[in-house]
Amino acid sequence: MFQRKISISLFLGIITFHLLFAQNIKYEVLTLRKEQFSMPNRKFYIQKIICDFNQPKYFVTRKGIFNKQKTIILGDSIQKVMIAFLKPSNTYRGGLVPVLMKIKELKIREERHFLKEEGTAKLSVEFYIETDTKPVKIFQSNAFRTYTGLMNITNQHDENVRTIIKSCMIDFNNAKIDFSKYVIPNKIFKAKRPS
């Protein structure tokens, strides 16, 4: 009888431990906080963003004091998240050239080392102008950022992904690109009025 109570207590203890410390299968959605950043003398606006790689549906990170594995997803898609983030800084004004932004690579990684965590964010993008025949690549940019912390760096992914996107956009804005040779004049249409 006593042995049975010990067995039941041990079994309940194992179940309780498992429920408290098991890996959490829930996920978090990483949304990039909107912010306006300066791009002086901007001559373009991002008309469309496409992904040119098999985008991961999720990134695996570690979270909390027990360093549980956590799955982070980027909203609906990388394109939608980036369009929403760029919106305050990418407003259309007359005379701006429409540009296609192609995401070649986006990686978010987190590793646990002795007494610290290290995260990396990497982005590779290309910028295209659409002509009447095909898109023409006019610029490419890469950004990489490493960040470390003692306990939990998962909450820094938002800031670091925003930083590498801004870095690529500012690189493109600061490039000495003559947009005038790519611009195709719009056709002029005249209104037909009934006589």
Task: Calculate the CA 16 to chain-centre distance.
Answer: 37
pLDDT in the model for residue 24 = 47
Average pLDDT, stretch 42-65? Answer: 75
pLDDT: which is higher, 52 or 171: 171
When pLDDT is cut at 50, 70 and 90, the band that residue 156 belongs to is confident
CA 37 – CA 168 distance, rounded (Å): 12
Q: Supply angle C-alpha 179, 34, 121, rounded to 5.
A: 80
Of 6-15, 19-28, 150-159, give the lowest mean pLDDT range. Answer: 19-28
Best-predicted range by mean pLDDT among 11-20, 28-37, 49-58?
Answer: 28-37
Residue 35 placed within a domain: no
Residue 93 structural domain: 45-176
> 3-state DSSP call for residue 67?
coil
Residue 25 placed within a domain: no
Mean per-residue pLDDT of the chain: 77
pLDDT in the model for residue 114 = 74
pLDDT: which is higher, 16 or 106: 106
Q: Please give the C-alpha separations between residue 79 and each of 27, 83, 166, in angstroms, as whole numbers.
A: 20, 6, 15
Average pLDDT, stretch 100-106? Answer: 91
Helix axes 78-86, 157-174, angle to 10 degrees: 70
- How many structural domains comprise the chain? 1
CA 110 – CA 119 distance, rounded (Å): 4
Question: Looking at the predicted structure, is the pLDDT value of residue 40 above 80?
Answer: yes
pLDDT in the model for residue 75 = 66
Beta strands in 67-115 (DSSP E): 68-73, 97-113
